[in-house]
Amino acid sequence: QQQVKQSPQSLIVQKGGISIINCAYENTAFDYFPWYQQFPGKGPALLIAIRPDVSEKKEGRFTISFNKSAKQFSLHIMDSQPGDSATYFCAASSTGNQFYFGTGTSLTVIP
């Protein structure tokens, strides 16, 4: 059973556009939600993370929106650049020990 459901599976965005990736979860015990970026041949790198006591967190061009009642959270990449082309994973944890990852979104930003 997939603890964290992620969509879309792939995304193509024009340079300068907004990329939006969505995730949903069922386990209400989850209380930490990070997003990771992974380039081919590399391990995932932490982008930004949020706790459920806030509804939004912004770091540079990356924003997490969190809807606790709907058990959904999303990543927005503003002014998307070709260098943002990568696979993005959402994740969730209730203990800070075991993280459950989504299935990933392959983002392609077209120049």
Chain-centroid distance, C-alpha 60:
15
Q: Which lies closer to other proteins via its Cβ, residue 17 or residue 22?
A: 22
* Residue 2 DSSP class: -
Distance CA 103, CA 70 (A): 20
Stretch near other proteins under the rule CB under 8 A, chosen from 12-20, 52-60, 61-69, 87-95: 87-95
User: Residues 69, 70, 83, 96: which binds other proteins (CB under 8 A)?
Assistant: 96
Q: Is 101 in the site for other proteins (CB under 8 A)?
A: yes
CA 27 vs CA 32, 47, 67, 72, 94: distances in Å: 12, 23, 14, 11, 9
For residue 18, what are the contacts with CB-CB under 8 A and spacing of at least 6? 76, 77, 78, 79, 80
User: Residues 12, 18, 46, 78: which binds other proteins (CB under 8 A)?
Assistant: 46
The residue whose two tokens read 């879309």 is 8
Q: Is 15 in the site for other proteins (CB under 8 A)?
A: no
Q: Is 95 in the site for other proteins (CB under 8 A)?
A: yes
Q: Is 40 in the site for other proteins (CB under 8 A)?
A: no
Interacting residue ranges for other proteins, rule: CB under 8 A:
4, 6, 32, 34, 36, 41-46, 49, 51, 89, 91, 93, 95-104
